[in-house]
Amino acid sequence: MREIKIGLLGLGVVGSGVYRLLSENGDFMAQKTGSRLTIKKILVRDLGKPRPVSVPDGTLTTRAEEILEDPEIEIVCELMGGIEPAKSYILSALSAGKHVVTANKAVLAEFGPEVFQAAEAADRGLFFEAAVGGGVPIIKTLRESLSANRIQTITAIVNGTCNYILTRMQESGLSFKEALVEAQKLGFAEADPTLDISGMDSAHKLALLATLSYGSFVPAEKVYVEGIEGLEPLDLAFAKEFGFLTKLLAIAREKEGEVEVRVHPTLVPEGHMLSSVRLAYNAFLLKGDFVGEIMLYGLGAGAEPTASAVVADLLDAARLIISGAKPTSILYRETPLDIKPMPRIVSRYFFRFSAVDRPGVLSKISGILGKHGISIASVIQKGRQIGGSVPIVMLTHEAEESAVRKALSEIDKLDVVTAPTKLLRILED
C-alpha cells in the first residue's frame, strides 16, 4: 500500500482534530483509498506547549523548512490561520512541488490570483473545502457536482456566530450584547468577535464562493458588507410581526452579465428554507440553471466538522498523487467579472422610523418616499414610546438602493424624525 507523507502547519483546535481523525480512522480510510496518509512533521510555535493530542517524539518542529524542503512530504496542510507566514508557506510548498490543503479563507480571499496561479504553474492541487463551510462540502459541490451548471444564485448563512446571536435575540429577546456574551461562553464566538459580527468573515467566504461559481477572482473588498452590531431586538420583533426572521445572508447573483456580491442582515420569510437554520448552523442555497435549487446544511465550524473537511481534501490530494491526474483550474474565465454597484441593487425594504407623535408625520414620510419612486406595501405605527419617540415600521415594494438612500437621507433631516432610520433588506422569493 502506498504511503503518502504529510506536513502539518499548525496544531491548534483544527490541527489537533485532523491529527486525531487520521489516527482514529486511518485504517478505514486506507481500505477505501488504497493509500495510507501519515503525518511526518508538524510545525508549531512552542514545542513545550501542552497539546490535546499526543504525538511521537521528533514529530513537532519550529522550523518550517523541515516540512517545505523535505522531498518525502508530498502534501502540506496549512492550518495556522492569518495572512503571514501562512501565505508564504503555501506558495513555498507549491513551488516545491507539493500539493496544498488549507482552511485559510483570508489568504485565498485576499490573495487568490497569486495562490491559484502558483498552484497552476506548479501543476499541483490546491484544496480548501474547510475554508468556507466547515464540515459542509460546499466547495466540492461547486467544483464538481454542479460544474455543468451556470450558478444563478448563492444565498447562504455562512457564519455560525452571527446566526447563533440572531437566533437567541429572536427567540429569547436577548440584546445583541447579551447574545454575544452567551455565544462566547459556549465557544461559538471568539474573544474578539469583530471579524464575525462585522460581516467580514462572511464576505471572505462569499468572495471564494463567487470566484468558484463564476470563474474569475472576486476580491473580498468588492463585496458589500454590513454586520449585525446595530441590530436591536425591537427590529427583529417588528420583522416577526410581518412574518420574517432576520438572518445575516451572503448573496451572490449573476444576471445580465453582472454579478451581485453582498453580505447584510436580511429578512427571510418564515416559510423559506433558510428560515429554519438556527443557532450555529450554516446553510447554502444554490440555484443552477439545470439542477434548480439545492441546499446544503450543517455545522460550519468546530474542530470535528472542520477536520472532516480537511481530511477529505487530504484524501482527494492523495488520489491525485496516485492517479497522476492533472488538477482542475479554478480561474477559467479570461475576463474580469463586472460587479454590480450596490446603489443599483433592487430589493424590497424594511424601514423603522423614529418619530415624534404628531399629526402629519406619516404623510411627510410617505410623501418623500413617493417622490423618490418608493411604493409602500405595509405599515405598522405603534403607540408605544421608545425614548420619547414612536416607531413607524414600513415594508416597501421593490426599489433601487440609490433611490432608497436618497429618500432616507431626506427623511432623517425632518424635525419630526428623532433618530437615523433603520434599514433592512428583504430576501426575494
pLDDT band at residue 389 using 50, 70 and 90 as cut-offs? confident
Lowest mean pLDDT among 113-117, 287-291, 327-331: 327-331
pLDDT band at residue 385 using 50, 70 and 90 as cut-offs? low
285, 141 Cβ separation under 8 angstroms: no
Q: What is the pLDDT of residue 397?
A: 98
Q: What is the pLDDT of residue 384?
A: 62
Q: What is the pLDDT of residue 386?
A: 60
Q: How far apart are CA 1 and CA 35, in angstroms?
A: 6
Residues 340, 346, 349, 354, CA torsion sign? positive
Mean pLDDT for the stretch of residues 181-205: 94
Record the cell numbers describing residue 20, joined without a space: 486525531
In the chain, what are the domain boundaries?
2-134+303-323, 138-299, 343-426
Q: Residue 5, exposed/middle/buried by CB under 10 A (0-12, 13-18, 19+)? A: middle
16 marked as binding residue: yes
Q: Is the pLDDT of residue 334 over 80?
A: no
DSSP sequence for 246-294: EEEEEEEEEETTEEEEEEEEEEEETTSGGGG--TTEEEEEEEETTTEEE
263 marked as binding residue: no
9 marked as binding residue: yes
pLDDT, tens digit, 9 for 90 and up, residues 358-375: 888 999 999 999 999 999
3-state secondary structure at position 44: coil
14 marked as binding residue: yes
pLDDT band at residue 329 using 50, 70 and 90 as cut-offs? confident
CATH class of 2-134+303-323: alpha beta
13 marked as binding residue: yes
3-state secondary structure at position 317: helix
Lowest mean pLDDT among 56-60, 144-148, 300-304: 300-304
376, 394 Cβ separation under 8 angstroms: yes
**Residues whose CB falls within 8 Å of the CB of residue 226, separated by 6 or more in sequence, listed in order:** 199, 263, 264, 265
pLDDT band at residue 331 using 50, 70 and 90 as cut-offs? confident
105 marked as binding residue: yes
12 marked as binding residue: yes
169, 245 Cβ separation under 8 angstroms: no
**Residues whose CB falls within 8 Å of the CB of residue 48, separated by 6 or more in sequence, listed in order:** none
pLDDT, tens digit, 9 for 90 and up, residues 295-312: 999 988 888 999 999 999
Q: Is the pLDDT of residue 187 over 90?
A: no
Mean pLDDT for the stretch of residues 107-136: 94
Q: How much is the pTM?
A: 0.93
Strands 2-9 and 73-78: parallel
Mean pLDDT for the stretch of residues 208-231: 95
Q: Is the pLDDT of residue 382 over 80?
A: no
User: Looking at the annotation, which residues are catalytic?
Assistant: 205
CATH class of 138-299: alpha beta
Query: What homologous superfamily does CATH list for 343-426?
Result: ACT domain (3.30.70.260)
The conformation of residue 387, written as its DSSP 8-state character, comes to: T
Q: Is the pLDDT of residue 75 over 70?
A: yes
